[in-house]
Amino acid sequence: MLEKILSLDTELFIYLNSLGSETYDGLWLSITKQINWIPLFLLLAYLIFKKLGTKQTLYLLLFVAILITITDQTTNLFKNGFQRLRPCNNPDINTFIRVVKKSNSFSFFSGHAANSMAVATFLFFNFKHRIKYFGFLFLWPLIFAYSRIYLGLHYPLDILTGYLFGFVFGFLMFKIYKVAQRKYFPQ
């Protein structure tokens, strides 16, 4: 059963990865770099500041930092535990797939997907009723994580698992934050 799932995962990866074109490689290399998302992060910080003020914004950002740390370290534990080769390092497929970027770390599961989904989930549940159209925030993890398939760095299952872990961790951190917020910032 697991072999069948991994085989389907590889086939789907090969299909999605083959949709790429040298014309767009630069764009996807840019998308995958966290630093290029700084304008989005600054916009989010501004929107949060406008809704919460300085003290509560700093408090919320502390929870975001803790969330990213937990999610990132959990991702590394799984990567080192499973030791699944990235597509770009898999000798069974790396000669005929599009390898736009290389990485020597392991593949399962995607830290880009987990971290971006965790933050998006945490922020969404905090602001879905306060900021109109805030659900569009989920485009960020979708685009950010797809770049990893495009570049030859992750299988779809790596991305989906990262999304799942990110969603769960983001939601749990939201619940913890709400309890702490009631304690330190009573309405």
Residue 51 included in any domain = yes
The answer on pLDDT for 187 being more than 80 is no
Give the tens place of pLDDT for each residue, 82-124: 999 999 999 999 998 999 999 999 999 999 999 999 999 999 9
> Does this model's pTM top 0.85?
yes
The answer to whether residue 161 is domain-embedded is yes
Q: What angle do CA 25, 31, 32 make, to 5 degrees?
A: 95
Q: Does residue 171 fall inside a structural domain?
A: yes
184 confidence band (pLDDT: 50, 70, 90): confident
Angle between helices 156-184 and 54-82 (to 10 degrees): 150
Is residue 28 one of the residues assigned to a domain? no
131 within some domain: yes
Q: Note whether residue 46 is domain-resident.
A: yes
Task: Work out how many domains the chain is built from and give that number.
Answer: 1
pLDDT at residue number 82: 95
Q: Is residue 155 part of a domain?
A: yes
Query: For 123-150, what is the mean pLDDT?
Result: 94
Residue 32 falls within a domain, yes or no?
no
- Domain coverage including residue 136: 2-17+39-184
What are the tens digits of pLDDT across the range 170-179? 999 999 999 9
